Structure 1
Amino acid sequence: MTVLALDIGGTKFAVARVDASGTLLDRAEHPVGQSPTATLRGLVADFAEPGITGVGIGSAGPIDTVAGTVSPINIPRWRGYPLVAAVQRLVPGVPVSLAGDAQCMALGEWWRGGHSAASLLGIVVSTGVGGGLVLDGRPWTGRTGNAGHIGHVLVDQDGEPCVCGARGCLETVAGGPSMVRWALAQGWTLATGRPDAKALATAARDGARIPLAAFERAATALATAILSTAAVLDVRDVVIGGGVAASGDLLLAPLRTAMADRAGMPHLRDLHVASTTLDRDAGLYGAAALALLASKTPLARSPRIPPSTLP
């Protein structure tokens, strides 16, 4: 059995064929480009060979799994776009399943990331902050498909306005552009180059005071949101991916410290926080798992073997 996995982000589309054992057979990635619909058609046409038994899609949101539509914030042309119907036309007669991209990241990590717990909270810390949940071995997507969206948990009731329309969301503190804006407002400057999240991380590694404070501030807000989520859902494993999270211990070290300082209940004091083990492919594995679950195919959990260690 082979399924088609699609990972649709704000800047890139990725596609892969994955078999029922969780082996990624082949993959491709392409910038969204000027015509996201044409990009989608081209990738699906290249990979939708005969024998594909299902399609799983992880998409940037917000999404509506009931209507099968998506409205990625960074793809303005796709407001309310009927993504499920569009893919069904490209792969007729094949069932199509949709979830949020961070939800698929969480499901992929649970399936192939080598994490042992039955439940998992996955978080993507990048331009924005997304999240997804696996509870007792099943993806938990909620009423509209947006469950687990930790980036819009309130962490500062007097905080900045968020793109979602609320105020003080986690994303306004821990998203990459938000961290950079805060650092610039505190007086951080660059002698050369563009002041972005990558430059902020480089400056923090060099010991610059304001960039380090930006990471500590983001980590504290992230700890608040994680502890709040864990208090309600009693998850143990927390897996963090995304561009900002790629800074490693710049974020994870102060995050673990903030969580230890703030955890109260016993089930909040033994949370296991780790970086993604699947990197950019986590969403593809999760989208594939979505398609397999839709066909009632059991998921045999095992860590993916990194390509460099394959014979």
Structure 2
Amino acid sequence: MTAWVLAVDLGGTKIESALVDAEGRLLPGSRFRAPTGGRSSSQQLETSAVSVIQQALGALPEGDEVIGVGIGSAGPITVAEGLVSPLNLPAWRDYPLKALAERLVPGVPAVLRMDGECITLAEHWIGAAPGEDNLMGMVVSTGIGGGLILGGRAVAGPTGNAGHIGHVEVGGFDDPCLCGGTGCVEAIASGPHTTRWAQRQGWSGESGEDLAASYAAGDPIAIAAVRRSGTAIGQAIASATALVDLDVVAIGGGFSHVTPDLFDIVREAIAKRAPFPFVAKVRVVPSGLSGEGPLVGAAALIHRAGYRS
């Protein structure tokens, strides 16, 4: 008999669910996806959530069991009440996602954490940073999220939002952010914000994939857009390292693949902190996981409960 965790990952464009075993492996045929999106109603979002959870449950092999539900959500969240309020999903404010999961999968524990913490747990478990005691995981995609492991333990904070690097403000930028800040790294460097900035400069593409192709072709606006994004990410990482003395930052998410050069640009921004060696020493690496990382990390909330706060 195999013990599975039903893992759920809620983001700005999709919600996914899958069954994950104690080695971090997804059960083939158990991964399901449904759309979310900023224009979705609360009912549409709930329908998508119910759909992926029920479909994943339906893939459970006979004789096996589900031992818990791990939920990673874009933030902000409220851990104590099990509520989610993803910035890019305005129809869900204080939505009881944990309670929904508990109704659909009764009799087992459900744990909710921010998606950034989940990706960090996944990198620490089977990704780019096993054994690292001072680690930040980042997701650079529709939004920018993050999570922290400090002293070998995940740090969620009292509300569950510790590590929310996407809403750290960086210098030299005045882009307004939905959170109310100005110059937040998410408002500058996420995939949608980077493409919109490029469009305002006269670029004619529509998506992050288009921007990647334009960058590879040498388009000067695409190059400037990616450099702008990477610089902001590097500044944010340097600031976070100055605060909590990180050793490694592992970056994943769809827009992190826009070009391998993005990582060099990030590192260049950090290198400017050379007078502070404890900041400049931080290593920035690509995620060691495929797109399964957020689901693996959500499963880690149950399978590796001793690592979470």
TM-score range, shorter chain: 0.7 to 0.9
* Partner Cα distance (2:153, 2:23) in 1: 17
Task: Select between 84-93 and 114-123 the one with higher mean Cα deviation.
Answer: 114-123
2:117 is matched with: 103
Deviation of 1:195 (Å):
2.8
Q: How many residues of Structure 1 are paired with residues of Structure 2 in the alignment?
A: 293
* Residue type at the aligned position of 2:33: H
Cα separation, partners in 2 of 1:131 and 1:31, compared to 1, 3 Å: same
Preserved CA contact (<8 Å) 2:128 2:286: no
Task: Select between 141-150 and 259-268 the one with higher mean Cα deviation.
Answer: 259-268
Cα separation, partners in 2 of 1:71 and 1:102, compared to 1, 3 Å: same
Preserved CA contact (<8 Å) 1:3 1:54: yes
1:182 aligns with 2:197: yes
1:277 aligns with 2:292: no
Preserved CA contact (<8 Å) 2:83 2:97: yes
Candidates 233, 236, 242, aligned match of 1:225? 236
TM-score of the aligned structures, taking structure 1 as reference length: 0.87
| DSSP-derived class of the 1:76 partner | coil
Cα separation, partners in 2 of 1:204 and 1:46, compared to 1, 3 Å: closer
The unaligned stretches of length 5 or more in structure 2 are: none
1:149 is matched with: 164
Deviation of 1:112 (Å):
0.9
Instruction: Give the % identical residues.
Output: 43
1:240 aligns with 2:240: no
* Residue type at the aligned position of 1:271: V
1:59 is matched with: 73
Task: Select between 132-141 and 55-64 the one with higher mean Cα deviation.
Answer: 132-141
Preserved CA contact (<8 Å) 1:205 1:250: no
1:120 is matched with: 135
Preserved CA contact (<8 Å) 1:10 1:60: yes
* Residue type at the aligned position of 2:80: V
| DSSP-derived class of the 1:155 partner | coil
Cα separation, partners in 2 of 1:44 and 1:182, compared to 1, 3 Å: closer
Cα separation, partners in 2 of 1:96 and 1:106, compared to 1, 3 Å: same
2:275 is matched with: 264
* Residue type at the aligned position of 1:30: R
Task: Select between 155-164 and 118-127 the one with higher mean Cα deviation.
Answer: 155-164
1:25 is matched with: 27
Q: Deviations over 1:212-235 (max 9, x none)?
A: 111112111111110110111111
* Partner Cα distance (1:19, 1:210) in 2: 44
Cα separation, partners in 2 of 1:180 and 1:47, compared to 1, 3 Å: closer
Candidates 135, 138, 141, aligned match of 2:150? 135
Deviation of 1:61 (Å):
1.9
Deviation of 1:158 (Å):
6.1
Preserved CA contact (<8 Å) 1:201 1:250: no
Report 1:4-19 matches (<5 A): 4-19=6-21
Q: Deviations over 1:136-191 (max 9, x none)?
A: 332211111111111100113761210111111111211122222322333x333x
Candidates 278, 286, 301, aligned match of 2:297? 286
* Partner Cα distance (2:221, 2:23) in 1: 46
Deviation of 1:96 (Å):
0.5
- Aligned-pair Cα RMSD in Å: 2.1
